[in-house]
């Protein structure tokens, strides 16, 4: 296999003279940035990495330049998984679990679970959310295939893989409309089914497309960079505390001596002392004043 790699990029491609499109994503530093912030058991790590790759692929299938959030909430050892991709291809993710976590199919990890895809177009526009049961899907890729079939009515197939250093994915999708090549979708998916985990993780996109589809006319577009970034901020934390109300925040302050909030996605901590809390609530409806840095 080639020692060169496509690192932290998304590639779109199309099959000429058909209505089939595709995408490939590879996450290296982006995925490692997530793993640096929390140690996950191997089955949780693999599922989270697959979800990180998947949400980047999903972000290109929506009509709006908004954020896409993929959420799995279940009753199994993995109780919650949330990953998000923003329009600038910034990605973040987190998973919660209970030990022990088995190595097995999706159902053994999440139990009876719901898969939710939330699209936030931003700029005050209404959010859209599609929810499906994961059912007996053996893995996240098949669960997402089912989501597209039931919620989007688009023929879509995904292949996902992750290890302790990289996450990757491939998406194929049949677009609406007539095509002169009526067999294209079935033929291309059949070829895609021969893809192995090792090839998805280690081959460059050009090598992978050539190995799978060398008899097809494939046009590969320029790579788009992907990176890890969290959008937490002091302002968002201020809004969270204001939402709790001054009485509850004062109770936390009295019990703990400070209010400490840590972002689960990136680990950044926000601390508030008594002066910060009083200033925070006194500032509601008043012009903002500079806050003392602690």
pTM of the model: 0.83
Read off the pLDDT of residues 193-213 as tens digits, 9 standing for 90 and up. Answer: 999 999 999 999 999 999 999
Q: What pLDDT score was predicted for residue 293?
A: 40
CATH number, domain containing residue 212: 3.55.30.10
Is 173 inside any structural domain? yes
Is 4 inside any structural domain? no
Same domain for 212 and 168?
A: yes
Q: Is the peptide bond before 100 cis (omega within 30 degrees of 0)?
A: yes
| pLDDT reading at 292 higher than 50 | no
DSSP H or E segment with residue 92: strand 90-97
Same domain for 154 and 107?
A: yes
Bridge partners (DSSP) listed for residue 272:
259
Mean pLDDT of 8-12: 96
Length of the chain (residues) = 294
Same domain for 195 and 176?
A: yes
| pLDDT reading at 152 higher than 60 | yes
Read off the pLDDT of residues 248-271 as tens digits, 9 standing for 90 and up. Answer: 888 888 888 888 888 777 777 888
Same domain for 53 and 102?
A: yes
Q: Print the domain residue range for 245.
A: 234-282
Q: What is the mean pLDDT of the chain?
A: 88
Q: Is the peptide bond before 232 cis (omega within 30 degrees of 0)?
A: no
- Cβ–Cβ < 8 Å for 15, 21: yes
Is 1 inside any structural domain? no
Same domain for 222 and 242?
A: no
Same domain for 35 and 111?
A: yes
Same domain for 192 and 261?
A: no
- Cβ–Cβ < 8 Å for 240, 261: yes
Pairwise pLDDT comparison (289 vs 212), residue with the higher score: 212
| pLDDT reading at 81 higher than 90 | yes
Is 290 inside any structural domain? no
Is 90 inside any structural domain? yes
Same domain for 86 and 144?
A: yes
Pairwise pLDDT comparison (89 vs 290), residue with the higher score: 89
Which of 228, 245, 274 finishes a domain? Answer: 228
Which of 204, 228, 252 finishes a domain? Answer: 228
Nearest to 75 by CA among 45, 48, 108, 118: 108
d(CA 39, CA 35): 6
Backbone phi, then psi, for 276, in 5-degree steps? Answer: -60, -45
Is 292 inside any structural domain? no
Residue owning tokens 């999708």: 173
How crowded is the C-beta side of 218, counted as CA atoms within 13 Å?
A: 22
Q: What pLDDT score was predicted for residue 3?
A: 45
- Cβ–Cβ < 8 Å for 41, 96: no
Same domain for 258 and 157?
A: no
Query: Tell me, what DSSP letter sits at residue 169?
Result: E
Same domain for 218 and 260?
A: no
Nearest to 9 by CA among 116, 168, 177: 168
Is 245 inside any structural domain? yes
CATH number, domain containing residue 276: 3.90.1280.10
d(CA 148, CA 140): 12
DSSP H or E segment with residue 221: none
Same domain for 215 and 122?
A: yes
Same domain for 148 and 265?
A: no
d(CA 116, CA 66): 16
Read off the pLDDT of residues 214-245 as tens digits, 9 standing for 90 and up. Answer: 999 999 999 999 998 777 778 888 888 888 88
Is 288 inside any structural domain? no
Total domains, the chain? 2
Read off the pLDDT of residues 267-288 as tens digits, 9 standing for 90 and up. Answer: 778 888 888 888 888 866 544 4
| pLDDT reading at 291 higher than 70 | no
Alpha-carbon dihedral of residues 103, 109, 111, 116, nearest 10 degrees? -150
């Amino acid at each position: 296999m080639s020692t060169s790699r496509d690192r932290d990029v998304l590639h779109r491609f199309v099959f000429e003279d058909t209505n089939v499109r595709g995408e490939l994503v590879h996450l290296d530093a982006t995925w490692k940035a997530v793993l640096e912030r929390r140690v996950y058991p191997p089955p949780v790590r693999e599922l989270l990495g697959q979800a990180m790759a998947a949400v980047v692929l999903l972000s290109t299938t929506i009509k709006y330049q908004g954020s896409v959030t993929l959420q799995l909430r279940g009753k199994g050892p993995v109780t919650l998984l949330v990953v998000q991709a923003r329009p600038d291809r910034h990605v973040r993710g987190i998973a919660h679990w209970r030990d022990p976590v088995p190595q097995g199919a999706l159902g053994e990890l999440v139990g009876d679970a719901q898969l939710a895809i939330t699209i936030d177009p931003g700029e005050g526009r209404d959010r859209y959310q599609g929810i499906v049961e994961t059912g007996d899907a053996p893995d996240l890729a098949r669960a997402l295939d089912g989501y597209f079939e039931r919620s989007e009515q688009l023929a879509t197939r995904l292949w996902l893989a992750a290890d302790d250093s990289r996450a990757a994915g491939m998406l194929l999708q049949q677009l609406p409309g007539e095509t002169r090549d009526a067999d294209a979708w079935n033929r291309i998916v059949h070829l895609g089914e021969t893809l192995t985990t090792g090839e998805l993780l280690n081959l460059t996109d050009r090598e992978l497309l050539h190995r799978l589809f060398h008899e097809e006319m494939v046009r590969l577009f320029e790579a788009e960079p992907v990176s890890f970034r969290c959008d937490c901020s002091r302002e968002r934390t201020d809004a969270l505390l204001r939402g709790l109300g001054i009485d509850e925040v004062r109770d936390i302050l009295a019990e703990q001596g400070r209010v400490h909030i840590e972002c689960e996605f990136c680990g950044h901590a926000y601390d508030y002392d008594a002066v910060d809390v009083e200033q925070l609530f006194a500032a509601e409806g008043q012009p903002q004043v500079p806050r003392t840095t602690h």
